[in-house]
Amino acid sequence: MATSAVPASITGSIPRHVAIIMDGNGRWAKKRLLPRIAGHKQGVEAVRRVSRAARVMGIEVLTLYAFSSENWRRPAEEVSDLMGLLRRFLKREVEELISENVRLKVIGGWQALPADLVEMIREVMARTASNTGPMLVIALNYGSQAEIVAATRRLAERVAAGELTADRIDEAMFESELATHDLPPLDLMIRTSGEQRLSNFLLWQAAYAELLFVDALWPDFNAETLADAIDQFGRRQRRFGGL
C-alpha cells in the first residue's frame, strides 16, 4: 500500500503523465555475474515500487515500456521468462490495483501474446475498469511506428468509404486513433541506463514531452530516483514552441 508523502525534494509542478523506458535489466545482472532472468526479476520489483511511488506523488498516469514489438528477436528462453514474469506480476498486483483504485490499461499488440496471458490481461483490465484513480499503462508488444501506421490506415479507410474527407483530418483527429487517445498528454519521458534514444516508444506523444535520460539501471530505480526526475521536470521551462 502507498503510505508515504510526496518527497520534500520535489518543489515544482508534478507531471500528469510520465512514461518510462525501463532499460538495463541485463546489464544489472551482468555486473553481478547473474543470469539475465535475475535482472528481469529485479526489474519487476522496480515496477512495483516505482508505480507505488508515482501514485504517492500524485502522478495521474504512469506508462511503462515493458515489451516492444522488437523484443521478439530475443532468445526464445528469455521471451518465455519475460512472459512468466508478466503473469506473476498480474496475479500478484491485481488486488492491490483494485484496493488502490488504480486502472490498468495495456497498449500495443498484446492480443498476440500467449492465449492464457491475453485472458489474464483482459480480466485485470475488466476488474479495474471502474476504478477512478491513477492509471498504470503497460506497453506490451508495442511499437510506435506501427501504432502510427495503423492510425493512418484507419483514417484512410474512412476516407475511402466516404465517411470522411481528407481535409478534415487534423492533429486532434489523428490522436483520437492512437492507443493513448484517452490519456492526458505526455509530460515527461524517462529512460534509464544512460542510453539516449526513444526506441520506437510514444513517438507522436513525445512531441513536446520533456526528455530525461538517467544513468541508473532499471532494477536500481526507486522512489528517490523518481522524485529527482520529477524535481528536474518541475524546474524546466516548457514553452511548447513559444517564448
Catalytically active residues, by annotation:
23, 71
Count Cα atoms within 13 angstroms, Cβ side, for 193.
Answer: 19
73 is in an annotated binding site: no
110 is in an annotated binding site: no
Give SS3 for 225. helix
40 is in an annotated binding site: yes
Q: Round to whole Å and give the CA distance between 192 and 210.
A: 14
Mention every residue, 6+ apart, whose C-beta is less than 8 A from residue 10.
57, 227, 230, 231, 234
Q: Round to whole Å and give the CA distance between 225 and 223.
A: 5
74 is in an annotated binding site: yes
210 is in an annotated binding site: yes
Q: Round to whole Å and give the CA distance between 103 and 61.
A: 9
68 is in an annotated binding site: yes
DSSP state of 236: S
27 is in an annotated binding site: yes
69 is in an annotated binding site: yes
Sequence ranges of the binding site: 23-28, 36, 40, 68-70, 72, 74, 191, 197-199, 210
Sequence ranges of the binding site for Mg(2+): 23, 210
Sequence ranges of the binding site for substrate: 24-28, 36, 40, 68-70, 72, 74, 191, 197-199
